[in-house]
A and B are shown apart, each in its own frame.
Chain A
Amino acid sequence: MDFLQNKFFLIALTFGFYLGGQLLQRRTGVKLLNPILIAIAAMIFFLLLCDIDYDTYKQGGDYIDFWLKPAVVALGVPLYKQLSTIKRQLLPLLLSELAGCVAGVVSVVVLAEMFGATREVVISLAPKAVTTPIAMEISNAMGGIAPLTAAVVVATGIFGGMTGFRIVRMSHIHSPIAEGLSIGTAAHAVGTSAAMERSERYGAFSSIGLTLNGLFTALLAPMILDLLGYSV
């Protein structure tokens, strides 16, 4: 049974579950069968079943996690392709991102409080809209639970990626720029990959959203938490 803890086996299994999720989603056409969601759920189920702890999984998982950073750097390419559009509407972009960032942090903190979350959990949820490296750093610095933040960030991304275009339509947002932008702002890189599936143009605006919200959240979230009474 030791072989089940082999890191290469665990990496291969992660690929396998993800691939299975992709096939399932393609075959059935059901959006809810998101490959990220399926891979996470299947893997957790497998690990619990075989009594393997997360730290053991991480020895393989870290090799996948490692590519997150180069992949975020790679978003510079679609961003470059949309530079002229960004330049043309710099002010609307900055204003909407600022609004989205503040609305996001304030709303999640107030709602979590309302529903009775403990202080640690409220702080862990605050940076949930931005990509994991930023979110975990903020959570750590402010006294949240970093692994919970990571999990919520991924869940937010999956939810935003799956329902984003529906929410956009319900909110009467019509321009492709605003659509892509708001999905990237709310659901970071996972939302961006959903937007990218629609078209590269949506994906590029989404990556603007994730970048600007990442920057604003890194700078503003500690301040907002402080103002809402969650100082370190």
Chain B
Amino acid sequence: MILQFGILFAFLVAGELVVRFTGIPIPSSIIGMVLLCASLKLGVVKLKWVEKLSGFLVHNLGFFFVPAGIGLMNCLGIIADQWMPIVFATVISTAIIIAVTGWVHQLTRSASAKLTHKIAKEAQ
């Protein structure tokens, strides 16, 4: 388990270093995630070295958001004043993102599948 903690934090540190030296406007954790994924692919890190801890963290991700959500109590005034735009814009926009992302993915995927099929046919 100590090894698993060590590796996850090492990748977080790597992310922090990338942010520090490049000034890239992306959080260190996202960069760490991409680096971890790449290292697993390259075989630098073995899956069993990280699988247990990452499984635990990933399956309980929601819990770690609780303190940020409690921050809501500091903006109760703004929310009371402007609850309508906040609630409606958030809810409708969330549905729009889900629909648009899903549609574009389905469309482009079937288009690219057709294209590959066509190329394969012509090659024959």
Contact = CB atoms under 8 A, between A and B. Distances in A.
Do the two chains belong together in a single complex? yes
Interface of A: 14, 18, 35-36, 39-40, 43-44, 47-48, 54, 57-58, 61-62, 64-65, 67-80, 83, 89, 91-93, 95-97, 99-100, 103-104, 107-108, 111-118, 121-122, 125, 128-129, 131-134, 137, 141, 145, 147-148, 150-157, 159-161, 163-164, 167-168, 171, 173-175, 177-179, 181-183, 185-187, 189-190, 192-193, 196, 203, 209, 211, 214-215, 218-219
A168 B102 contact: yes
B62 A193 contact: yes
B108 A96 contact: yes
B65 A132 contact: yes
Given A40-B72, A159-B94, A211-B30, 18 more contacts: A67-B57, A67-B64, A70-B9, A74-B33, A74-B58, A103-B96, A111-B92, A112-B86, A150-B71, A154-B65, A173-B98, A182-B101, A185-B97, A186-B97, A190-B62, A196-B61, A203-B58, A214-B27
A182 B85 contact: no
A78 B94 CA distance: 24
Best-surrounded residue of A115, A118, A134 (most CB of chain B within 10 A): A115
Contacts of B86: 112, 117, 121, 125, 152
A192 B58 CA distance: 9
B75 interface: yes
B75 A148 contact: yes
B110 to A, nearest CB: 9
Interface of B: 8-9, 11-12, 15, 25-30, 32-37, 40-41, 47, 50-51, 53-55, 57-75, 78-79, 82, 84-86, 88-106, 108-109, 112
Contact of A40 (B51, B55, B61, B69): B69
Given A99-B101, A219-B25, A192 B61 contact: yes
16 contacts: A43-B66, A44-B70, A68-B65, A70-B57, A76-B40, A91-B108, A93-B105, A100-B101, A103-B96, A107-B96, A112-B85, A133-B29, A152-B90, A178-B101, A190-B61, A211-B34
Contacts, number: 329
A186 B106 CA distance: 16
A48 B74 CA distance: 11
Contacts of B71: 54, 147, 150-151
Given A72-B33, A121-B82, A214-B26, A104 B93 contact: yes
Contacts of A40: 66, 69-70, 72
A178 B104 CA distance: 9
Among A71, A114, A137, A160, chain B packs the most CB atoms within 10 A around the CB of A71
B10 to A, nearest CB: 9
B93 to A, nearest CB: 4
Contacts of A179: 102
Nearest to A210: B30
